[in-house]
């Protein structure tokens, strides 16, 4: 406790770390607001911008942790070793969850290429599953059938099957 109250320690470590944390929070807030406003201007549903905002948030958090760690004297080399170990473990986990990962990738492709929009009528061939696009999630897309049922379809299906899209009027 004495160390923290030391004015030199405060000036050299605690205050710069606090400034970095506040700056990271502000940067995240600003970028998130920009993404929201751009989505509103281009009439993109908020659900489709959540992934971009999540990626920005995690990028800012990782950068903030690296900067704060370096302020407190943690060697960047050690930090990268730890980070590389964590990433390796995550990649092993992703390999074990390949089908989930393929759906996440398919979601990114759908959100970037925008082959259909919410409200478009979609038919997946050869199964003849048809409905109005209701929601695009990270793993699934939801279609509302003419009977009012909601069909949940893995997003990878839209990349691996023939899909007929009728744009809404």
**Do residues 6 and 16 touch, judged by C-beta distance below 8 A?**
no
**What would the pLDDT profile of 35-65 be if each residue is shown by its tens digit?**
888 888 888 877 778 888 888 899 999 889 8
Helices (H) and strands (E) in the chain, counts: 7, 5
**Of 80-84, 127-131, 137-141, 146-150, which gets the smallest average pLDDT?**
80-84
> pTM of this prediction?
0.49
Q: What is the pLDDT of residue 169?
A: 62
Is 116-166 a domain of CATH 2.70.150.10? no
**Do residues 65 and 86 touch, judged by C-beta distance below 8 A?**
no
Whole-angstrom distance, CA of residue 108 vs CA of residue 131: 21
Q: What is the pLDDT of residue 1?
A: 55
Q: What is the DSSP letter of 10?
A: I
**What would the pLDDT profile of 81-131 be if each residue is shown by its tens digit?**
888 898 898 888 877 777 787 888 898 888 888 888 889 999 998 888 899
Q: What is the pLDDT of residue 90?
A: 86
Whole-angstrom distance, CA of residue 158 vs CA of residue 115: 9
Bigger pLDDT: 122 or 5? 122
Q: What is the mean pLDDT of the chain?
A: 86
């Amino acid at each position: 406790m004495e160390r923290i109250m030391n004015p030199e320690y405060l000036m050299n470590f605690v205050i710069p770390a606090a400034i970095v944390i506040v700056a990271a929070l502000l940067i995240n807030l600003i970028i998130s607001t920009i993404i929201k406003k751009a989505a509103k201007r281009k009439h993109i549903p908020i659900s489709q911008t959540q992934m971009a905002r999540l990626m920005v948030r995690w990028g800012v958090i990782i950068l903030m942790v690296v900067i704060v760690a370096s302020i407190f004297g943690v060697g960047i080399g050690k930090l990268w070793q730890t980070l590389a170990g964590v990433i390796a473990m995550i990649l092993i986990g992703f390999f074990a969850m390949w089908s989930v990962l393929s759906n996440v990738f398919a979601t990114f492709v759908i959100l970037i290429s925008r082959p259909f929009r919410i409200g478009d009528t979609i038919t997946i061939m050869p199964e003849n599953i048809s409905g109005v696009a209701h929601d695009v999630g990270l793993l699934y897309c939801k279609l509302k059938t003419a009977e009012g049922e909601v069909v949940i379809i893995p997003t990878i299906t839209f990349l691996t099957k023939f899909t007929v899209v009728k744009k809404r009027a």
